[in-house]
Amino acid sequence: MAFAFSATDFDRIAEALGVPVQRDGSLVRYELTHAASGRTLALEITPEVAVPDGHNGRMTTMALVSVYATNSFLQLQDCTGFVASEELGEVIFFSKMGAPNGATSGLVVEREAGSSLYANVADRLLLADFTQLPPEVMMSAVALSLSETLFDEESGFGK
């Protein structure tokens, strides 16, 4: 079954980021500012975007997560789950492809109006001993390893 955002999910994201949910039809938006650094960003979630499935001419839907920042635009297509943490003040959105030997991408949005994107991180790195990884890939593997709780055992991750 494909991932779908719920109204409760949008509230959990708002709590983790410390900002209210803004809704405009199906579009959900969060506006973040951090006065000390001067950063601002807007997080937009479109729960269902219709796209061709590429195989039979039919349409399918995917969840789209976009970040609009002063100097960047980041987008995670086909979001398959997320983890929201009030303690860390951040939300990590995940897109998983090609299980069990595939890759995971993640878009991190921080309460302090920061964002990071980790793309196409090999799943084997998420399951590795982080102390054995080269420093250049350690941060992405640690951040995206949080996705392991979202996916079933068939994908190589725990429930």
Q: What is the pLDDT of residues 6-43, one digit of tens each?
A: 999 999 999 999 999 999 999 999 999 999 999 999 99
User: In this structure, which long-range contacts are made by residues 117-121, counting pairs with CB atoms below 8 Å and at least 24 apart in sequence?
Assistant: 117/74, 117/76, 118/143, 118/144
Where exactly are the structural domains of the chain?
Answer: 7-152
Which amino acid appears at position 20 of this protein? P
pTM of the predicted model as reported, rounded to 2 decimal places: 0.84
pLDDT-derived band at 100 (thresholds 50, 70, 90) equals: low
